[in-house]
Amino acid sequence: MARWEPNAQERLVRAALELFTEQGYDTTTVNEIADRAGLTKTTFFRHFRDKREVLFAGQDTHTRLLADAIDAIDAIDAADGPVTPLEAVRAALDALTATFTDDRRDVGTRLRPVIAGHTELQERAALKRAKLTEAVTDALHRRGVPEPTASLAAELGIRAFYDAFDQWADPASEQTLTELTRRTLDELRAALAALD
């Protein structure tokens, strides 16, 4: 058995979001999600522990992408002079946002109202955000960036990503998530100058 199902995770995410949107998160079962995706329940559980986790599918990949992008900077560093903490964060965000291609925008659009409607999902979403921030902070520490600079740079970068994601998830939006995140980070950086 255990056939390889092409793109199973993405199909399950899309099927779950369709069902959550149509009939609500609470009433949707794992069986229904697997059926809608044309997959078995066994395949579902190979990818996700429960239906809640479908909504946070990317957590491990995303933390790894952020950390790997920062860890990979060393080579560039030697050639082009020191990379600042915020430049490292920018590189990490570019790596992360490159995976949110525009054909996935509708996933973002559907995700937001489902999470907004459930305290349990908001808490889980807050944990994911904290994990992404931690991954960036830890990677900056490995580059020798001290506290509190490392965590401040990480918080600013992850905030830029989430603010930009909200804009990207708007069906009327035409920019890529990479463009939106870069612009938002620039705006946040500029706003710091107005603090005092």
Radius of gyration of the chain (CA): 18
Residues 56-85 that bind a second copy (CB under 8 A): 84-85
Kindly state whether residue 152 participates in binding a second copy, applying the rule CB under 8 A: yes
Take residue 138 and report the two structure tokens written for it.
């830890």
Question: Which is closer to a second copy, CB of 107 or CB of 188?
Answer: 188
CB of 184 to a second copy, least distance (A): 9
On whether the CB atoms of residues 165 and 97 are closer than 8 A, the answer is no
- As measured in angstroms, the least distance from the Cβ of 81 to a second copy is 13
Cβ nearer to a second copy, comparing 33 with 86: 86
By the rule CB under 8 A, 149 interacts with a second copy: yes
Q: Which of 38, 126, 166, 179 binds a second copy (CB under 8 A)?
A: 126
Which residues in the 85-114 window bind a second copy by CB under 8 A?
85-87
Concatenating the DSSP letter of every residue in 171-185 gives: TT--S-HHHHHHHHH
- What single string gives the DSSP state of each residue in 111-169? HHHHHHT-HHHHHHHHHHHHHHHHHHHHHHHHTTPPTTHHHHHHHHHHHHHHHHHHHHT
Angle subtended by helix axes 149-168 and 119-142, to nearest 10: 130
Contacts of 122 (CB under 8 A, 6+ apart): 115, 116
Out of 155, 162, 173, 176, the only residue in the binding site for a second copy (CB under 8 A) is: 155
Measured from the CB atom, the residue of 79 and 194 that comes closer to a second copy is: 194
Query: What distance in Å separates the CA atoms of residue 155 and residue 192, rounded to the nearest whole number?
Result: 13
Which of the ranges 27-35, 66-74, 103-111, 184-192 carries the binding residues for a second copy, by CB under 8 A?
184-192
Q: At closest approach, how far in Å is the CB of 104 from a second copy?
A: 26
* Site residues, a second copy (CB under 8 A): 84-87, 123, 126, 148-149, 152-153, 155-156, 163, 187-189, 191-192, 194-196
